[in-house]
Amino acid sequence: MRRRLTSLLLAGTTLLLACDFGGGYQGMAIDPPRAMPTFTFQRANGSVFSTAPVAGRPLVLFFGYTHCPDVCPTTLADWKRVRATLGDQAKAVRFVFVTVDPDRDTPAVAERYAKLYDAAFEGVSGDAATTSRMMEAFGVAAAPEPGTEATGYLVSHSSQVFLVDATGRLVALYPFGTGWDALAADLRRLVS
């Protein structure tokens, strides 16, 4: 586990080194943009969700878990503000919450959690292998840590939001604490 976490942290560091606050993005631009692999997840109702590019529809991704006490609820609340700011343009954006805790967060649990914040949000959970491959592709790290009897175990995890354009290229990321208005401005630019 420690070796996997170390390799994920190195991948995340490599991704961050490719970033700059340029390229016309309010977030940290990925320069050059990076083509991302496609991942598929089975929804609770049996249908399939895919991260494959959809013409004219950028993808906003966040990796978290439903028992998260702070970062995840704050991020999804910020996404709700972004959708409200975008108005009708928000219909073109795919907001996807990917759990890093598939043992507890079944597809139904992940979906229900995301939709608590906005009915348009997707919450997905995959098997451990799919989750691990996706985390590695995005340079995301996560590791369980002790919690309390009330919370159960906690999961330390990367906390940035990823912006993938409609052609499937990672173009920007937003570290936790970046104002939600930066993501809104960048999305408005992509869907205009």
pLDDT per position as a tens digit, 47-56:
999 999 999 9
- pLDDT interval class at 24 (50, 70, 90): confident
Amino acid at 74: T
pTM, full prediction: 0.86
Q: Residue 3 above 50 pLDDT?
A: no
Q: What percent of the chain is modeled with pLDDT above 70? A: 88
Q: Give CA separation, 54 vs 83, 93, 117, 159, 167, in Å.
A: 19, 10, 23, 25, 7
> What per-residue confidence (pLDDT) applies to 48?
96
Interacting residues of 4 by C-beta distance below 8 A, sequence separation 6+: 132
Task: Tell me which of 131 and 3 has the higher pLDDT.
Answer: 131
Rounded Cα distance between 175 and 59, Å, is 16
- Run of H or E residues at 12: helix 2-17
Which domains are present in the chain? 2-191 (3.40.30.10)
- Per DSSP bridges, beta strands 59-64 and 94-99 are parallel
> What per-residue confidence (pLDDT) applies to 23?
60
Torsion angle in degrees (nearest 10) through CA of 41, 61, 118, 126: 20
